[in-house]
Amino acid sequence: MQDFSLITSWIDNSLRSLMPGWLTVTVECLLIGVGLLLVYSLLALFYIYYERKLCAAFQCRLGPNRVGPFGLLQSFADMFKMLIKEIIHLDHIDRFLFGLAPYLVIAASVMAFAVLPWGNGLQVIDFNIGIFFLIAVSSIGVLGILLAGWSSNNKFTLIGSLRSGAQMVSYELSIGLSVLTMVCLAGTMSVGGIVAEQENLWFIFKGHIPAIIAFVIYMIAGTAETNRGPFDLPEAESELTAGYHTEYSGIHFGFFYLAEYLNLFVVSGVAALLFFGGWMPLHFPGWDAFNHIMDYIPSVVWFLGKAFVLSFIIIWFKWTFPRLRIDQLLALEWKYLLPINLVNLVLMVLIIVFNWHF
């Protein structure tokens, strides 16, 4: 299998031969930052088109089909429209917090995005507490949402932000316990280490029933964490206009819109990492010929393919199930998902202690 670390090492050695060490690090950081933002933006545009087409298929419609071939340029047209829209300045708001909120949401999304393992040797950052860092930075987004609702000085935005805060803080527990279950199986919090542990078999197969239960709970909690239907109470249009971002316009509204779609990719990417091997091809012990054929598929294709399939499942949720009430949403977490998760974690520990996994 191709190793992208050879390319990155060649770039690093080339830059070091042309400039001093401190300047090399600066240039590399700039290149990585520009690359992340470029991929971040393109993925958001792709996901907007992806969901519109899937939604249209579920509802027996065509979806975008006018701007560009098959409507491929519709997302770009919407992006340019968003960029040139006027930012409306409001009275009676906390201007500093109102302006800060969308940047907190987008910063949390970008930092979580940077931890994902895109391919063999193609990862921005990998250290021994990578999963802990991922959970920590992804939790910052709720602060931006709470600030957006409170600083707007609007009862609808305040209700939307409080709903979102209650929902995200609650379902973070289930996400954390599902992740912890798989970290126990991997024996490491390093993102690269988790991928390496799945070289012979993905955790969804290796971890028996507890891995499957953790995956199902993670997908439900991840859908709630991204404020997507049927857990989209913070943005319930029929009740709250547009929820916590009602008062935002122009590029500031665009930041919330962008972060929602990229959080969908981050949730799917983490699920691919923890349960389906990340960029690791499908390998079975003893099937050398099959494993060798799987290695011909580029590692980036493996990771993106898994993420897109898991995103399809989350989008399927949204366009299939009706919106829950707030009491139903919180009861699902505290009465069902959390107790099941705690029992499931104990089961996984027993499987590891008695070496019952594959």
Residue 357: is it exposed, middle or buried by C-beta count within 10 angstroms (0-12/13-18/19+)?
A: middle
Q: Tell me the C-alpha distance between 143 and 146, whole Å.
A: 5
Q: DSSP secondary structure string, 142-170?
A: HHHHHHHHHHTT-HHHHHHHHHHHHHHHH
pLDDT of residue 234: 65
Q: What is the pLDDT of residue 163?
A: 80
**Per-residue pLDDT reduced to its tens digit, 8-34:** 888 888 888 888 888 888 888 898 888
Residue type, 104: L
What's the pLDDT tens digit per position in 45-86?
999 999 999 999 998 898 888 888 888 899 899 888 888 888
In this predicted model, what pLDDT tens digit does every residue of 96-105 receive, in sequence order?
888 898 899 8
- Total structural domains in the chain? 1
pLDDT in tens, 158-206: 887 888 888 888 898 999 999 999 999 998 899 989 998 988 889 998 8
* Contact by Cβ (8 Å): 40, 32: no
> Bigger pLDDT: 346 or 225?
346
Domain contains 61: no
Asked if pLDDT for residue 245 goes beyond 80, the answer is no
Q: Model's pTM, two decimal places?
A: 0.90
pLDDT at residue 242 in the model: 65
What's the pLDDT score for residue 276? 93
Query: Is residue 78 a part of any domain in this protein?
Result: no
Angle (CA) 168-169-173 rounded to 5° is: 105
Residue 43 lies in a domain: no
For residue 24, tell me if it sits in a domain: no
DSSP string, 57-116: HHTT---S-SSSGGGTTHHHHHHHHHHHS--PPPSSS-HHHHHHHHHHHHHHHHHHHHHS
Examine residue 243 and state whether it is found in any structural domain, yes or no.
yes
**% of the chain at pLDDT higher than 90:** 26
In a domain, 253, yes or no: yes
Using pLDDT thresholds of 50, 70 and 90, give the confidence band for residue 309.
very high
- Counting Cβ atoms within 10 Å, is residue 62 exposed (0-12), middle (13-18) or buried (19+)? exposed
Residue 345 domain-assigned (yes or no): yes
| In-domain check, residue 198 | yes
Cβ atoms within 10 Å of 318's Cβ, excluding its own:
20
What tokens appear for 66 in the block?
């006018």
> Which of 240, 310, 230 is closest to 274 using CA atoms?
310
Q: Which domain holds residue 189?
A: 86-353
Other CB atoms closer than 10 Å to residue 324's CB: what's the count? 18
Q: What is the mean pLDDT of residues 144-154?
A: 86
pLDDT above 60 (res 239): no
Categorize the per-residue pLDDT at 338 as very low, low, confident or very high, splitting at 50, 70 and 90: very high
